[in-house]
Amino acid sequence: MQDIAFFSVLDLAAAIRSRSLSSVELLDLYLERFVRLNPRLNALVSVDWEGGRRQAVQADAALARGEVRGPLHGVPITVSDSLSVAGVVTTNGDPELAGNVPQKDAVAIARCKAAGAVVFAKSNVGWGDWEAVASNPLFGATRNPWDMGRSTGGAAGGAGASVAAGLTALDIGRDIGGSLRVPAHYCGVYAHRPSRGVVPVEGPILLDGAIFSQEFAATGVMGRSVADLSLGLELIGGPDVQNARGWTLQLPAPRRRSLSECRIAVWAEGEGTSLDTSGRELMEHVAETLRKAGAFVDETARPGFSLLLAHQVFRQLRVGMAALDADGDVFGPLPLAVSLQAERVQALVAQYLAYGTQSYRDWQSANELRNYFSLCWERFFHEFDVVLMPVMPTAAPRWDFSEEDLCFLPCAVLAGDQAFLFWDETAWVTLPTLCSLPATVIPAGKTQEGLPVGVQLVGPYLDDLTTLRLGGWLSSLLGGFSAPPGT
């Protein structure tokens, strides 16, 4: 039974429909693993014991009557604590929302339930759902199942740890600056950030934070295979209630029929950031794997702007938007988890202060650059189908879990013996966010220390099915998901 915990969503759903496995049995398996593994991981934070069992019993009873609600009938899944689930505490990692119990589901979650999913728990997120780690004053920090002394990344690190450790079949969460993709990379699982508008975006409280939080946000999926991601996107995609009056979603078909037809650019070096040795070696291995499969690979092609400038524009726009909903404490001293040179910290604090209080003219000037970058991408994707790029420069960094105040924007972390500021290293993961592009993360291999490393496939706006299909082909060549030792 323990192996079943790591089955793909499609296989689990098929087993339930064939009645070789019941929904209650599968839920009991995940709950047993929760009791055994979660005390160390702290990945799931709000388990709906009664509601989950009620849903599973109803799913089995419906199946006995010959009723199948949808592709996820009876499959237990989790939801990041950044999205509302009716009747379940939803906090966004914010102490002010400790008693928040939504009366209705976020649209994406309602669609999962309509497809038959059993939503039984929430996964941990960073404070306010935008921290570099899944840590908050309500629930504490989530640990990485590959190494308990390392970070899962954030903000949806609870999802990464839960999916990797076999505590859930699938997790639905939000991604802005890599909240799904960084944990997928650090934990050795899969994630897809959709093109903007493909999936309705909602926060934990629909009337709070709706101004700034939606601009760069995307509701996406984390799982253990590309097939999981594809099914999840199919189920949660589509317009929200208001827009459904005027349009429907029909994503373009995948661009290519085989990997040998694909034209792939590789962007693995950039100003201001660089991969560590393991990252470079794995990127070279992935590029060579693609070449051997017959794909055309270009490691020098670029869209016409620098990585450093794009990262600067993202930070300026994002911090400016966040300031709309921030109180004065946000722009006070920013605590760090480890010591860095004071000059570097002060420079970053000064930059965030400047971005948080910038004029509308300055913000709009940066936004015009973003529009220019989008035009550059559009021209670039006339020649290339996708861009292969890293997620982060290193595998999961060490983290000082003894610190009471583990999180806030700069987030100093350790990679080996070297300390660095997390937000200085997010250039690649924020690159697709800036221009609303789809990005699919798949496991690429492991470092010499045995830590997982992922890569992301970024495609043209609305070409989500292209990045997913290519990700599936590439994953089959690279070996796919493997469970962390001890899980």
CA distance 80 to 44: 9
- The terminus-to-terminus CA distance of the chain in angstroms comes to 13
Residue 150 has pLDDT above 80, yes or no: yes
Q: Which of 92-101, 211-220, 242-251, 256-265 has the lowest mean pLDDT?
A: 211-220
Q: Which of 32-36, 221-225, 300-304, 329-333 has the lowest mean pLDDT?
A: 329-333
Residue 325: pLDDT band (50, 70, 90) is: low
Domains, in order of start, for the chain? 2-478 (3.90.1300.10)
pLDDT tens for each residue of 35-81? 999 999 999 999 999 999 999 999 999 999 999 999 999 999 999 99
Q: Which of 76-90, 164-178, 196-210, 351-365 has the lowest mean pLDDT?
A: 196-210
Predicted local distance difference test score (pLDDT) of residue 336: 41
Residue 342 has pLDDT above 90, yes or no: no
Residue 408 has pLDDT above 70, yes or no: no
Residue 398: pLDDT band (50, 70, 90) is: confident
Residue in 19, 27, 28, 14 with CA at minimum distance from that of residue 72: 14
